[in-house]
Amino acid sequence: MNVHIATDTDGLAKDGAELFLRIAKETIRSRNMFAAAISGGSSPRGMHRLLGREPLRSEMPWSKTHLFWVDERILPYEHPESNFGTARDDFLSHVPISEDHVHPMPVDLPPAEGAEVYRRGLDAFFGHPTVPVFDLMVLGLGPDGHTASLFPGSSPDPSGQEPWVIAVTGGNPNVARLTLTYPVLNSASHTEMLVEGAGKADIVRRIITGEPPLLPAHYIEPYSGTLTWLLDRAAASSLPEGGGRGIG
């Protein structure tokens, strides 16, 4: 685990965007394509906005980038709580990415059917794998210890036997959602856990130090990829001394 602490939220957004760009460029050099799954919520919005502005807008290899979603609320894309709608407004509408390289979760189907449709899409895109392997997985952390839309008390068995995509209900707002599950989340080559704010300092400490009881975010343990925690100073304020290390 690699922990990087930024001075403030602006620094966190910059570090997140630069890491996103670096992984994209490295991946494309090796296999000529980059596939990332991104999250909603407040923490990644600064990073997204920087990706949609110069100089990163022109530096990012959009023509070879494919974007998927970690989770989504079953709400119209125009709704202010839509993860896809927010990302579209924050950066997708400002960058030269092809429409067929953007893969939002379906919100116009019954949840269980939408989960199966997205699973089939992943299966086809990744060439019918045992499990999809994203180049980058961008996750957030809720104050209750949830990540993606895997909530305490209702998240699936972390043993890795559940489907790649499931329908759940919960969160704020308490609505039906689609979410990737642990086999996919933990198979990514790189995972970026982006967290900001003093209100999450205690849960950050509990997850990073492994303090029980175990919560959904405790089970984010990449099988072979890298895990980088990107925190602002407020979110890192409860970590033990020496808890921050550079991105490298």
Write down the pLDDT at residue 56: 98
Write down the pLDDT at residue 161: 76
Write down the pLDDT at residue 245: 41
Write down the pLDDT at residue 194: 97
Indicate the SS3 state at residue 208. helix
Write down the pLDDT at residue 246: 38
Closest-CA residue to 138 (of 191, 98, 102):
191
pTM exceeds 0.75 for this model = yes
Write down the pLDDT at residue 1: 87
pLDDT along the chain (248 residues), means of 10: 95 98 98 97 95 98 98 97 97 98 98 98 98 98 96 77 92 94 97 97 97 95 97 96 46
Q: Are 231 and 12 in contact (CB under 8 A)?
A: yes
Q: Are 150 and 156 in contact (CB under 8 A)?
A: yes
Q: Are 222 and 170 in contact (CB under 8 A)?
A: no
All structural domains of the chain: 2-232 (3.40.50.1360)
User: What would the two tokens of residue 110 be?
Assistant: 């019954």
